[in-house]
Amino acid sequence: MQRAGEKGAIILAGGDSKRLGVAKPLLKLGEESLIEKAVKNLKPFFNHITVVTDHPEIFPPMPVRFVCDLLTGYAKNPLRGIHAGLSASPLPYQFVLACDMPFINLDLIGYMARFASRYDVVVPCIGSYYQPLHAFYSRSCIEAIRRQLEQNGGKVTSFYHSVRVRQIGADEIIQYDPQQLAFFNINTWDDYRAAKEILASVNG
């Protein structure tokens, strides 16, 4: 049973990191790995953090729950991870973050959280471009995600048409994150070098 004030976050850390060729969650940015940075930065807002990964044995001890994908009969993609994270907790909704998005903005997340109890998905959307791996998802999405995977659809946003979605538009985002750094993700070594430059500038 959920207690008042309980808040959950799901960190997706199961990607194959083919373009980097290393285990992306363990990649160091500053003094911490990406997964350690994500957990530390989310902890002030969330008291339940779930890390979805097929290889929990590679991670250092952290105050999180590790879970693996449940729907392994489908192509590996973030939808499987979101499904696993939502299924692992009785919380009515949780925040989902990709582990390669290091510049977490709790003010923006807190603003998004205001709408999470009234919608199935609360997701940033700039123009027609969603940020589905920086979004709140309700447990009511579990079945919709399973149906989407059954239809061979791995794109996260493909099931949005069947649920209630609250878009967080650019005018709302810039109030909390003018540079939209929260959505910066590391997919390549060029991204990694840019992230180090951003971190250096943020730290002064």
CA 119 to chain CA centroid, nearest Å: 17
| CB-based burial, 129-156: b 16+ in 10 Å, e otherwise | ebbbbbbbbbeebbebbbebbeeebeeb
Full DSSP string of 93-143: EEEEEETT-----HHHHHHHHTTTTT-SEEEEEETTEE-TTEEEEETTHHH
Whether 1 maps to a domain, the answer reads no
Say what the pTM is: 0.93
CA atoms lying within 13 Å on the CB side of residue 6: 11
Domain that holds residue 87: 8-202
pLDDT of residue 4: 45
- pLDDT recorded at residue 155: 87
> How many Cα neighbours within 13 Å face the side chain of 33?
16
Low-confidence ranges of the chain (pLDDT < 50): 1-4
| Torsion 127-152-15-165 (CA) sign | positive
pLDDT of residue 172: 98
What pLDDT was estimated at residue 161?
93
Total domains in the fold of the chain: 1
3 lies in some domain: no
**pLDDT value, residue 16:** 60
Residue 159 within a domain: yes
* CATH number for 90: 3.90.550.10
In a domain, 2, yes or no: no
Count CB atoms within 10 A of the CB of residue 92: 14
- 171 inside domain: yes
